Amino acid sequence: MGALHPVEKILTLVLAFGPFLLLAAVIMIRRRQDAREGTDATETPDVETDGAAEGEGRVHRDR
């Protein structure tokens, strides 16, 4: 087969690493959005218990 043409090399690199770079960008953007929403929200989330005495049972948190 011979050496690749420079355009083919670039295309191969874009196809090989492009999806990972795109995924990293999406993760970065979502983390920034989540952090921004976290500072805007109240400090105490809505918490419900399953009716057991305090300190017992499961705790359900709204997401």
Find tokens 């976290």 and name the residue: 38
**Rounded distance between C-alpha atoms, residue 58 and residue 51, angstroms:** 9
Residue 60 covered by a domain: no
Please report whether residue 43 resides in a domain.
no
- The CA angle 23-29-33, to the nearest 5 degrees, is 140
Tell me, yes or no, whether 2 lies in a domain: yes
**Based on the structure, what is the number of domains in the chain?**
1
Which pLDDT does position 60 carry in this prediction? 64
pLDDT exceeds cutoff 60 at 19: yes
pLDDT at position 27 is: 98
**What pTM, to 2 d.p., does this model score?**
0.53
pLDDT in tens, 20-44: 999 999 999 999 999 999 887 655 5
Quote the domain boundaries for residue 16: 1-38
Is 8 among the domain residues?
Answer: yes
Q: How far apart are the first and last CA of the chain?
A: 55
Per-residue pLDDT at 50 exceeds 80: no
| Tokens at 30, concatenated | 């979502």
